[in-house]
């Protein structure tokens, strides 16, 4: 049996918003967006707000990281899955937990105290850099780009 039909995993601390809900979903041809985040999995208000961004034909699931790890391999072949996580640490937990992530789109990581800005939309600290290096060691392609039309950059060259 083959693995889940995982189209892409995106790191975006905003999770589902216009860019993800319209541009990326259409570009990928996804019919299921899985938000893998422990806090959002328990927050129905946030889930409802994110659902409003997506067309009705796109299904969403809001899972904890562990639930994503536990059930991703049970996905039906017809499910074209786009996983969205809040940060690089969530992505690393999924990868190390056995989710077959081989390509990550690094879209948005807000600037905050103690982080350095490496692109117009991505800021990192030492823990983020260590997590990106671990993903790179695990063979994950790390592509920094906001929108599909943009030319991506290997984030490892910017760290």
Give me the torsion for CA of 91, 100, 130, 20, rounded to 10°: -40
Cα–Cα dist 112/106, whole Å: 17
pLDDT digits (tens, 9 = 90+) for 13-56: 999 988 888 899 999 999 999 999 999 999 999 999 999 999 88
Strands 116-117 and 123-124, sheet pairing: antiparallel
pLDDT in tens, 69-79: 999 999 999 99
pLDDT tens track for 119-149: 999 999 999 999 999 999 999 999 999 999 9
The residues spanned by each domain of the chain are 6-157
Residue 1 has pLDDT above 70, yes or no: no
Residue with tokens 């889940």: 4
State in words which class domain 6-157 has. Answer: alpha beta
Catalytic site positions: 17
Check if the beta carbon of residue 33 is closer than 8 Å to that of residue 16. yes
């Amino acid at each position: 049996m083959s693995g889940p039909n995982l189209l892409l995993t995106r790191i975006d601390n905003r999770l589902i918003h216009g860019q993800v809900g319209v541009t990326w979903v259409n570009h990928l041809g996804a019919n299921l967006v899985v938000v893998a985040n422990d806090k959002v999995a328990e927050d129905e208000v946030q889930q409802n707000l994110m659902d409003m961004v997506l067309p009705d034909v796109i299904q969403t699931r809001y899972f904890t990281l562990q639930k994503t790890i536990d059930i991703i391999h049970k996905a039906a072949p017809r499910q074209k899955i786009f996983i969205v996580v809040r940060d690089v640490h969530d992505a690393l937990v999924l990868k190390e937990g056995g989710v077959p992530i081989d390509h990550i789109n690094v879209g948005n990581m807000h600037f905050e105290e103690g982080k350095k800005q490496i692109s117009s939309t991505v800021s990192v600290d030492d823990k983020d850099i260590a997590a990106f290096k671990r993903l790179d060691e695990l063979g994950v392609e790390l592509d920094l780009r906001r929108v599909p039309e943009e030319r991506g950059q290997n984030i490892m060259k910017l760290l």
